[in-house]
């Protein structure tokens, strides 16, 4: 296959991957605490031209390579819910939760109580405090969550203030290394250990919305589709030229 077709194909492959990333961002535009992903591209030089009249620098063919993705960790807008169990993290921290697969981390603070009074995420995973899962008593009311994550309640009719735990808010040296696990959860990378986050503040009665901008993502989707169509047209024209050249060569008398 000719070099022009190979280079065009490399670009089409990366555009398809880019479209998948954009589609995933748009699908999560209303997901609490979701962080948008963006593509990273780089030039890949391959020494495939072998004609002797090419200079060394001109022998290299420039392909487009999908290097990977990076995560936009900017905070999303905070939406007030007035639900005393909802929390948003003002800062770069994550809330630790316990799942069947081990400890995970989330920015989605849409919490509720399960049938045994345990504080859990929307998918039912236990929210962790500094001393383990957080459990409320049936007589607890007037729940208050302070900026440092301490949860206090008024217990029973005697109006006794009690502490039910403190949210375990953690941070990472490099949050880009966090691994997405589904259900809006992240797992720590092999070389990154969570540490207590003393800089982030907990906002009770709020949830953090997705930081995806639907307008920007739709604009990028249009650009990617247009670029893909242009390259497909160019490759089709290149193939037609190749076909025509072969046909004309076949008509040359021997």
pLDDT classification of 67: cutoffs 50, 70, 90 = low
**Domain map (residue ranges) of the chain:** 3-73+214-251, 78-208
Query: What does the alpha-carbon distance between residue 111 and residue 16 come to, in Å, rounded to a whole number?
Result: 36
Give the residue-averaged pLDDT of 153-181: 88
pLDDT classification of 26: cutoffs 50, 70, 90 = very high
- C-alpha distances (whole Å) from 60 to each of 3, 51, 63 are 11, 11, 9
Contact (CB, 8 A) for 122 and 112? yes
pLDDT at 250: 64
The per-residue pLDDT for range 69-126, each reduced to its tens digit, is 789 999 999 999 999 999 999 999 999 999 999 999 999 999 999 999 999 999 999 9
Give the residue-averaged pLDDT of 11-36: 90
pLDDT at 55 over 80: no
* Residue 236: strand pairing partners: none
pLDDT at 27: 94
Give the residue-averaged pLDDT of 227-233: 83
Give the residue-averaged pLDDT of 193-203: 93
pLDDT classification of 47: cutoffs 50, 70, 90 = low
Structure tokens at 192: 């990154």
Contact (CB, 8 A) for 165 and 131? yes
With CA atoms as reference, report the closest residue to 104 among 44, 4, 184, 47: 184
């Amino acid at each position: 296959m000719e070099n022009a077709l190979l280079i065009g194909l490399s670009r089409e492959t990366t555009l398809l991957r880019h479209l998948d990333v954009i589609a995933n961002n748009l699908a999560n535009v209303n997901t609490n605490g979701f962080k948008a992903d963006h593509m990273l591209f780089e030039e890949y030089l391959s020494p495939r031209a072998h004609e002797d009249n090419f200079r060394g620098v001109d022998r290299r063919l420039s392909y487009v390579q999908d290097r990977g993705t990076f995560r936009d960790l900017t905070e999303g807008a905070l939406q007030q819910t007035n639900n005393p169990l909802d929390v948003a993290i003002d800062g770069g921290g994550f809330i630790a939760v316990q799942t069947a697969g081990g400890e995970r981390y989330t920015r989605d603070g849409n919490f509720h109580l399960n049938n045994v009074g345990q504080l859990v995420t929307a998918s039912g995973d236990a929210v962790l405090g500094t001393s383990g899962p957080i459990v409320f008593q049936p007589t607890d009311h007037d729940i208050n969550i302070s900026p440092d994550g301490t949860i206090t309640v008024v217990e029973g009719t005697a109006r006794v203030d009690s502490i039910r735990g403190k949210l375990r808010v953690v941070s990472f040296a490099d949050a880009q290394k966090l691994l997405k696990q589904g259900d809006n959860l992240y797992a720590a990378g092999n070389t990154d250990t969570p540490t207590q986050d003393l800089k982030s503040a907990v906002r009770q009665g709020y949830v953090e919305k997705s930081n995806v901008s639907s307008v920007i993502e739709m604009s990028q989707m249009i650009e990617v589709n247009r670029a893909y169509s242009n390259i497909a047209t160019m490759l089709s024209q290149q193939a037609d030229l190749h076909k025509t050249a072969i046909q004309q060569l076949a008509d040359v008398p021997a």
